[in-house]
Amino acid sequence: MKNIWNTYKSSFLLLGAMVAGGIAGAFWGEGASVLQPVADIFPNLLYCCVVPLIFCSLTSAIAKMEDLAKLRKILVTFLAGTIITGVIACLFMMIPALIFDPGKGAVLDLTEDVTNASASLNILGMFTVNDFPLLFSKSNLMSLIVFTVIFSIAIIMAGEKGRPVVYAMDCMTEVIVKVVGIVMKLAPLGLGCYFAILIGQYGQEVVGPLSRGIIMYLLVVLVYYVVSQTAMAYIGGGAEGVKVWWKGAAAPTLTALGTCSSAASLPVNMIHAKEIGIPDEIADIAVPLGANLHKDGACIIQILKIALLCSVFGIDYGTPRNLIMSVVVAVIASVVMGGIPAGGYVAEIFIISVFGFPTVSIPIMVLIGTITDAPATAINVTGDTGLAMIIARAVEGKDWIKKSAGA
C-alpha cells in the first residue's frame, strides 16, 4: 500500500482536489466564479512554460538527427495517425447516436441572437506570423513549430558552429522541465478551483434539455478514453507499453480535465512522454504537433453536435450522405479549429454550411462545446502520447521500449 501511495501520490492529490472542488461547486453554484483569480494562477504559469519548452526541446531533438529522412517518416506517420484515429473517434460517437437519439425530447431556445459568427478560414495562416515576437505566443504554436523546424535544419547545415546551440537547447530544456515540476506543486489548488467553477456554472445544464446527449457523450468518451489509449499503447509498445503509459497517465489527464486546455497541459504531457521512454526526437515533435492537430475528443464533440441538431430540426441523420459528411466535417474542423488564429467559430460554420442548420443554432453548439470541453481535452491530450508511441514503433522498431530502458 505504501508503495502504491509513493508511486501515485501526486495523482491521488490531484484527483482528490478535483473531487473536492466539484462538490464545492455543486453546492456553491455560480458563486464559485469568485475563485477564478486563484484558479488562473496554475494554467498561467504552465502557459509560460509552453513556448520555451517547445522551442528548446524541439530544436535539440531535430538538430541532433543525423538522418532527416527520419523526420519525414515521423511527420508522415503522425499525419496518417491523426486522420485514422479521428475517423475512429467519430465512429465511436456516431454508432450510439444512431441507436439512441441524443436530441430526443429536447426543446431548445433558438431565438438568441448571434452577435459575432465570424471566423478566420485562413488555414495557411496558421503556419506563419508576420513579426518575430508573435512566434513566442501560445496563440501561434503552429507557427512556432514551423519556425523551429526550419531553425533546427539551419543548425544542422551550420555544422560544427551549430553544436554550441544544440548544447544550449539541451540545457534549457532540462531547466524548463524543472520549472514545470515546480509549477505542478500548485496543481491541486488550481485544478480544485477550476473544477468548482466548472461544476458551479454548468452543472445544471446536464439535467436540462441537453441531458440525454451529454450523458451519452460522457459514456462514449469514457469508453473511448480507456479503449483508445490502451489500444494505441499496445500497438506502440505491446503489454509493456500499456503498463508504462497508464502508470503516468493521471497527471496529464487530470490537468487537461481541470484546465480544458491542450496548451496548458502540454508541458505535463511532454514529461509523461519522456517517462514512457519515447525517443526525444519523436516526443518533441509529435506531442507539440498533437496539441494543435490531433484532436480525437473534438471529433467526438462535432459528431454529437451534428446528431443532436439533426434531431432537433427533424433531419434524418442516418442517411449515407449525412453520416459521411459528418465524419469529414468533424475531422477537418477538429484539425484546423485549434490551429487557425481567431478561428473560434470555424467548426460551427463548417457544420452550418454543410447541414443547413440556421445560424441561431450556433449558441447551442457553443454551449454543447463548453459543457463537453473538459473530457474532450483529456482525450485530445492523452492521445498525443499514444500516437507518439505508435510513431516510435514505426520509426525505431518494435523493441524501442527495451532500447530506451537500456539507454
Q: In this structure, what is the dihedral angle of CA atoms 351, 353, 358, 359, given to the nearest 10 degrees?
A: 80
pLDDT exceeds 50 at position 118 = no
pLDDT of residue 363: 67
pLDDT digit string, tens, across residues 154-195: 998 888 898 899 899 989 988 988 888 888 888 888 878 877
**The pLDDT value given to residue 224:** 95
* Confidence band for 390, pLDDT divided at 50, 70 and 90: very high
Report the pLDDT value the prediction gives residue 205, as an integer from 0 to 100.
56
Q: Which pLDDT value is given to residue 344?
A: 46
Residue of 180, 392, 175, 188 whose CA lies nearest to 271: 180
What confidence category does residue 379 fall into, taking pLDDT thresholds of 50, 70 and 90? very high
> Residues of 66-102 as b/e, b for ≥16 C-beta within 10 angstroms?
eeeebbeebeebbeebbeebbbebbebbbebbeeebb
Domain chopping of the chain, boundaries:
10-406
Task: List Cα–Cα distances, 128 to 48, 131, 136, 147, 342, in angstroms.
Answer: 21, 9, 12, 8, 14
pLDDT band at residue 342 using 50, 70 and 90 as cut-offs: very low
Give me the chain's average pLDDT, please. Answer: 81
Q: Is the pLDDT of residue 28 over 80?
A: yes
pLDDT band at 102 (very low <50, low <70, confident <90, very high): confident
Contact 266, 287 (CB under 8 A): yes
pLDDT at 360: 64
Fold of 10-406: Proton glutamate symport protein (1.10.3860)
Cα(383)–Cα(401) distance, integer angstroms: 18
Q: What is the pLDDT of residue 89?
A: 94
Which pLDDT value is given to residue 6? 57
Confidence (pTM): 0.77
Identify which of 152-156, 312-316, 367-371 has the greatest average pLDDT: 152-156
* pLDDT value, residue 300: 92
Given this model, what pLDDT does residue 7 score? Answer: 55
pLDDT band for position 66 (50/70/90)?
low
